[in-house]
A and B are shown apart, each in its own frame.
Chain A
């Protein structure tokens, strides 16, 4: 084969492979939609919110408690992990002595690689009994929030840190030469520039938090209800899928796929938000 011809084939083959990732995402969406089609067809959307209970085998699809459960756990975890993560990154970049920063770096990197199931297990062994002492049974919304916070915290810290590092060094140099102090530089020079990147990172982590399954399942108690306080058990959309897929049939199974599709759409919208923010930034 002549080199020229070979190059042309190579281009085609590579392009083919590059399309596989598109095809696989297409398949994911295709299967979610076809599997949930049964319930979309037969059940009006209002039932998910207006039904009395979640008895999918008897045609009652009250998904609202699970949706609220997912949102509460996610929002709670984000509220805790965003400030802690950003402050830790500030410590790491600006306040800690360099030996401490390098220890912190190692530790956060290791923490971000630990499987969520280990955090979940540790939650069962330590956090749930601890919360149980205050208010039984311990498996609760709060336990879910704490465990999920631990899961997303290392990544948020890493993201915040890398964004602080990307801030234009020349601006910092100018600021120092103008005699600005540390606090002013962090608050007025660095933070405004990092804001957008931080927001993008936080949104992506929110997507990850709402998709987290087993760790949350392990500590949340999984009672289908709209919780009255943080000490009451909840069930999230993701746990619901994991718990019931084992025995779900027919329309019940279809309902589970539908909740998967809903999750997928939520995550998709979050990503779209970050992409649009990126485009706006490029346009500026």
Chain B
């Protein structure tokens, strides 16, 4: 917050009025949306709801297969994207500076990749993973598509946390005769752990919210997946399907939306705690 000297001229009052109006409007929508979903969803979400299979296209029963599919999608997505993300981030932060052409190309590339519309990413996933690689509609294909989507987010955040480490550590390590390898893996990466964790959690949030890219890659079979080559319906796709294609599925859609929001809220709280600690100065001598 930036505090400024108050005065009560007419334009100042006008600006104050408009900003309060807009801020309260946003708050109003927030409260409306949350109270509505919480009210309709809360009573439906029981332990049984979380562990049973859906019945009659999802109108009744639970969301166990969707939770499992979502979990599988997230795990596979991170297994693929995290090593690539960390390695690329190390390369960008430790071997290039922002003015080099190669670094600039990768940065622009990441900007573009980050803003590929998710349905277009879905088209690509369908053409490449599902058809060309012959994975079929499968959790694996969906996870690989998601991996492409979260990669920019991962690289950005990990790169930032590496760049935030003061150069003195690198200079001192070099002066002590440590190899680059040791410096990176035994000094810098451990220092960036919190930043990496933050990046992972942000990516999980992004991946969990994704819907359009999964429609034509992991598909929407609502059975319990038996392997990663089975089609599986993520929680967000479930909400979409229930509200669009299943008349009478509203109540369970509410319950699923509520579950998804609660999961994301939990992620948000963890992220908050982590970024607070980072702000407090992860690198101060304590």
Footprint of B on A, CB under 8 Å?
A: 3-4, 6-7, 10-11, 13-15, 17-18, 20-22, 24-25, 27-28, 31-32, 34-35, 83-85, 87-88, 90-96, 98, 101, 104, 107-111, 113-122, 124-126, 150, 153-154, 157, 164-165, 167, 169, 172, 176, 179-183, 185-187, 204, 207-208, 210-214, 217-218, 238, 241-242, 245-246, 256-257, 260, 263-264, 267-268, 270-271, 274-275
Contacts and interface: CB of A to CB of B under 8 A. Distances in A.
Contacts of A263: 117, 119-120
Interface of A is mostly: helix
A109 B268 contact: yes
Contact of B215 (A4, A34, A98, A242): A242
A17 B118 contact: no
Given A111-B26, A211-B117, 8 more contacts: A32-B127, A35-B123, A118-B260, A120-B240, A120-B243, A182-B5, A186-B4, A211-B118
A83 B110 CA distance: 29
A165 B265 contact: no
Contact of A124 (B21, B95, B243): B243
A44 B88 CA distance: 42
Contacts of A20: 84, 88, 151
Interface residues of B, number: 92
Contacts of A35: 123, 127
Contact of A21 (B113, B132, B210, B250): B113
Interface stretch (B27-35, B47-55, B56-64, B191-199): B27-35
A87 B132 CA distance: 48
Q: Which of A101, A110, A257 has the most CB of B within 10 A?
A: A110
A4 B128 CA distance: 39
Contacts, number: 281
A115 B88 contact: no
A275 B105 CA distance: 11
A213 B19 contact: no
A31 B124 CA distance: 6
- Top-4 shortest CB links A-B: A211-B117, A17-B87, A115-B209, A87-B22
26 contacts: A3-B181, A7-B180, A14-B88, A28-B121, A84-B26, A90-B15, A115-B236, A115-B239, A115-B260, A117-B236, A117-B240, A118-B37, A118-B239, A121-B239, A126-B36, A153-B26, A181-B6, A183-B7, A186-B15, A213-B212, A214-B240, A241-B122, A260-B117, A260-B123, A270-B115, A275-B108
B2 interface: yes
Contact of A260 (B90, B120, B181, B264): B120
Contacts of B111: 271, 274-275
B216 A245 contact: yes
B180 A92 contact: no
Contacts of A271: 108, 111-112, 115
Contacts of A104: 23, 27
Contact of A213 (B113, B119, B208): B119
Nearest to A36: B123
Nearest to A209: B117
B152 interface: yes
Contacts of B120: 28, 32, 211, 241, 260, 263-264
A180 B4 CA distance: 9
Contacts of B94: 14
A179 B2 CA distance: 16
A22 B103 CA distance: 11
A165 B253 CA distance: 39
B207 to A, nearest CB: 10
Contacts of B92: 18
B83 interface: yes
B175 interface: no
